[in-house]
Amino acid sequence: MKKVLNYLRSMRFGILLLVLIALCSVAGSLIPQGREISFYAQTYRSFHGVILMLRLNRVFESWYFIALLVLLGLNLTFCSLVRVFSLVGSRNLVSKQAAGLPDTVFLSPEGVRALEDALVNRRCRVERFGAARVYRKNNIGRYGSFLTHLSILLTLIIGALALYTPTVIDQSCLPGEALTMADGTRIGVHDFTIENPTGQLDFTSEIQITLPDGRDSGPRIIRVNHPCAFGSYKVYQQTYGTAGSITVTNLQNGGSDTFTLTEEVFLSLDGANGLWYEALYPGYLRDPSGNVTLITSTSGHYDDPVYQVLTASDGVYTPVLAFPGDELQIGELKYSFNAPVEYPGLRIKYTPPLVNALLIAVFVLMTAALFITFFLPPVVVKVDDEGYTVTGPKPEGMRIELGDVTAEYERKSEE
């Protein structure tokens, strides 16, 4: 059991876990997460089965990734506990050991007094052990390693909260409209395009986020794998759709309205005569005989969109295929078929503000811990009536400082 515990808290095991977590994170970054199975079958035809079997389509929710995080947490916890117990137990031992060290620099009694004055001016704390005086500086540096491990552990815990506690919803939004979240935040879509000017697929949305307190993100561009983060929200370009657009005009009074249609609907004035909108297809094929075969699926922009509708007039239903620019008149209403409207499907992720605040606090702690570790190493100076010696993890700086002090004193004494 002792060997198992020693291995669990070893640096070798910690590095192994970090490497495995990094590999999982790379896989999760390269392979789009959370898509439909059909997406992986079309995109990764030769090895989509491996992706699904290993859950590489949902890496961060997989049992093995969670297990790696738990093991890393245990590793860091054991390391932190061992270090803090070691620090508490060795607090006085370091000073006692330093008091028994032999002098490496010998001074006159006046030089010793000048040296101790310099140590006091540098705010070193002193402890007495018989004739020896032990001065300590940067004692907080002893806790640098512990604080670094603690901050990494807290980063792991808070990072897990940030990964698994957010609320995620998928929502479509037509250009020119806005979504209102439960807390009053508005996410508006100004524009959406499927292709860039060169004709390549480039799903791009221009959105704007307005928080309940009035803070505004301004127009932001999001693309696949390039989300927008503002406040407690992160918005991803998740998917897309194409909706039909029909303008209905009342021929008696000239009034008109345009409907953007994403599902079957009956457009009628009296509830009996009108137009049934059934579906919008991305294109069609016409054979030499003039027969039309509808294309049911495509990726990207609809090049030759076709409306499939039913006209209802005096109880007679007639199937019709219509194209953008066509018009149909049924009774007092005229139906004009417009170019389809492309719209984005957004993935909206909400992270509680407390989690974001804790992440910032842990980042500050880690920065402070690294600064303490590398720039505030503990230094111990043992002084007696004959001279002094300097010890510690990095004593060179203090040796140079005290060497300059004693050299300056000797120079002045000779004058």
pLDDT given for residue 90 in this prediction: 63
Residues 34 and 100 in one domain: no
pLDDT, one tens digit per residue, over 59-75 is 988 999 989 988 988 88
**Least confidently predicted of 86-95, 110-119, 248-257, 259-268:** 86-95
pLDDT given for residue 412 in this prediction: 73
Asked if the model's pLDDT at residue 26 lies above 70, the reply is: yes
Stated pTM of the model: 0.65
Q: Is 302 part of any domain?
A: yes
pLDDT given for residue 74 in this prediction: 86
Residues 336 and 348 in one domain: no
Q: Do 275 and 335 form a contact (C-beta atoms < 8 A)?
A: yes
Closest listed residue to residue 106, CA positions, set 403, 414, 391:
403
In whole angstroms, give the CA distance from residue 177 to residue 98: 73
Q: Among residues 12, 47, 80, which one ends one of the domains?
A: 80
**Least confidently predicted of 244-253, 289-298, 366-375:** 289-298
| Between 3 and 132, residue with greater pLDDT | 132
Helix (H) or strand (E) holding 16: helix 11-30
Q: Is 365 part of any domain?
A: no
pLDDT band (50, 70, 90) for residue 89: low
Residues 267 and 295 in one domain: yes
Closest listed residue to residue 266, CA positions, set 292, 288, 243, 248:
248
Residues 213 and 349 in one domain: yes
Query: In percent, how much of the chain has pLDDT > 70?
Result: 97
Residue 386 domain boundaries: 90-138+377-414
Residue found under tokens 């980063």: 155
Q: Which letter does DSSP use for residue 183 in this model? A: T
Residues 103 and 70 in one domain: no
Residues 256 and 328 in one domain: yes
Residues 234 and 250 in one domain: no
Give the rounded distance of the alpha carbon of 103 from its chain centre: 54
Return the CATH number at 124: 3.30.310.10
pLDDT given for residue 91 in this prediction: 62
Asked if the model's pLDDT at residue 8 lies above 90, the reply is: no
Q: Is 158 part of any domain?
A: no
Residues 250 and 116 in one domain: no
pLDDT, one tens digit per residue, over 204-243 is 999 999 999 999 999 999 998 899 999 999 999 988 999 9
Asked if the model's pLDDT at residue 6 lies above 80, the reply is: no
pLDDT band (50, 70, 90) for residue 193: very high
pLDDT given for residue 36 in this prediction: 78
pLDDT band (50, 70, 90) for residue 44: confident
Query: How many domains are there within the chain?
Result: 4
Q: Is 362 part of any domain?
A: no
The dihedral sign for the CA sequence 157, 162, 164, 165: positive
In whole angstroms, give the CA distance from residue 149 to residue 138: 19
pLDDT given for residue 161 in this prediction: 86
